[in-house]
Amino acid sequence: MDRMKGKIAVVTGVASGIGKAIIEMFADEGAKVVGADYDVENGQKTIDGIKAKGHEAVFVPCNLRKKEDVENLKKVTLDTFGTITTLVNCAGVLVHAPFLEHTDEDYDKISETNFRSACWTMQAFLPVMVENPEQCCICNVASISSIKPETNAYYYGAFKAALDLMTRNLTREFSPKGIRLNVINPGPVFTNMTPKEVLNSPEIQAEMCKNVCSIGRLGQPKDIAYAATYLCSDEASWVNGIQLVVDGGACMMG
């Protein structure tokens, strides 16, 4: 299992859910990994689990809403491994509320975590990648909420759409320099952002499977990790500027 052998990967949002699944799979596939999250306890647990398997891994406590934390993430990565080949921006927050109930605090939290932090990490690491672009790539995790309307997720969908467009725009500037950039658009996946009433109700889950996912089940974080591993491996060396929808057929359900 060496699809990521020789890669040095930074993944944000590793304390749980999709980010955790991605960094674990990268490490299992041979990458040296750096995980970042503001949830220090669970982020460290993720990295400790990776190291227990004999993989090289580092955890960096990081509030991605603070630029100085992003700069520290870059410093620790370079001090530890000397360079970076792979960046996955997975950190995100979701606020479900009717539009008229969304607050300024919601706007700031979602915009800064779901969009601005990814801009900051890309600004931090792209200059390093450009110096030695062989096998370098960025994968940003957006959502089908950016391409399919979702009630009560207005700011979330808007800033995930901004991340989509920013990523594809950046391919124009950085593809000629040897850097690939792609987006994954997950559908309904069981994570810590899944509402508790869904997590605790097999009946609601069954109804969602029937009405939301044509494939007959809700997603698991590993489903997205498989997609990220493909896009960040050499198998995808000719895949650039795409939005890869991984949603169990949700976008086909109308």
Question: Catalytic site residues?
Answer: 156
- The two structure tokens encoding residue 101: 């109930």
DSSP-derived secondary structure letter, 189: B
* Amino acid, single-letter form, for residue 253: M
- Could you tell me if 229 and 25 are in contact, meaning their C-beta atoms sit under 8 angstroms apart? yes
Which residues neighbour 26 within 8 Å (Cβ) at sequence distance 6 or greater?
4, 7, 9, 11, 33, 86, 228, 229, 232
CA distance 2 to 130: 24
**Greatest C-alpha distance within the chain:** 53
